[in-house]
Amino acid sequence: MSAMSSWLGREIDDFLLYVATERGLSSAYQLSLRQTLDALCEWSNRLHYRLQDMGTDELSHFLTTRKNESLGASSLRITTVHLKVFFRWLAGRGHLSMDPAEPLHAPKPEKILPETLHAADCRQLLESIDTTTPLGARDRAILDLFYSSGVRLSELCSARLEHLDRQEKFLRVTGKGNKTRLVPLGEMACQAIDHYLAVSRPTLVKKRTSSQLFLSIRGGALSPARVREIVKERASQAGLEQNVYPHLLRHSFATHLLEGGADLRVIQELLGHADISTTQIYTHVDQKRLKSIHKTFHPRG
């Protein structure tokens, strides 16, 4: 039995017409809704469910079926939202006496653990750069700053000379939500930045150069895209097989701090996270590492 030949198929068409004409939702969202509701229609036809049969238990059964069909947690969340919107519409138009989807709970999002580099790989990456050339000195300072402070790509690209306190070894950055914070610079990063400012940046300065901290060969500010290319190129030259990008160095900074015993609240402040829950993802990285060590070295691992 096709979706169009059932009661649910007709309701789906009416609902999507409403979504398109009265709500003005995008065609992509309409397609996403159609896919979810067509799957519901096929499932209900297979079990010979009628409209009045569709209660909360039945919808939970449908979600379980979708999960068993290897639908991931994020897709299940979207499916649950689609069901809530559709059945609220049905109930609102008197097709159902109550909304059976209202009590449904969307599954929690999956915790996607951030990638990190091993400390030895970070050291290999940094030490492989020839700092006797102007661009080498610049790139070493960029990579050292990423790894020693955990700054975001946008924060590094917008850094200016007046934001740098070389005596106190701090850099003032403006992060998400236009929030300003001071990030401490490690000794190695300070040395790399001092070397860049002494021997490299002066050679890159042109007539119209501003006070941007890191300059391109044309004397302008480095774009985020170019910084990504620099990080990738330097990682390739260092012989690292892992895909290396600026945010990977930020993840590595946080993870290595946690492994070294740093307090999570301190890491939150250093990263500029507004909510501690964002920082807590790194505890899962550390737990994963500890499990791996236990499995490798314990006789009953």
Active site residue 282: yes
Active site residue 95: no
In the set 49, 147, 196, 282, the catalytic residue is: 282
In the set 176, 179, 218, 265, the catalytic residue is: 176
pLDDT at 5: 43
Mean pLDDT across the chain: 88
Domains of the chain: 3-92 (1.10.150.130), 119-297 (1.10.443.10)
pLDDT at 111: 60
In the set 123, 169, 247, 289, the catalytic residue is: 247
Active site residue 147: no
DSSP 143-205: HHHHHHH---HHHHHT-BGGGEETTTTEEEEE-GGG-EEEEE--HHHHHHHHHIIIIIHHHH-
H-helix or E-strand containing 80? helix 73-92
pLDDT at 24: 74
In the set 82, 201, 234, 250, the catalytic residue is: 250
Round to whole Å and give the CA distance between 18 and 29.
Answer: 13
Active site residue 273: yes
CB 41 within 8 A of CB 3: yes
pLDDT at 96: 85
In the set 82, 152, 251, 256, the catalytic residue is: 152
Active site residue 152: yes
Q: In order along the chain (301 residues), what is the average pLDDT of each group of 10 residues? A: 54 88 81 92 88 87 89 87 93 89 79 80 97 97 96 95 94 88 93 97 95 96 96 96 94 90 89 83 66 63 54
CB 85 within 8 A of CB 110: no
- For residue 103, what are the contacts with CB-CB under 8 A and spacing of at least 6? 56
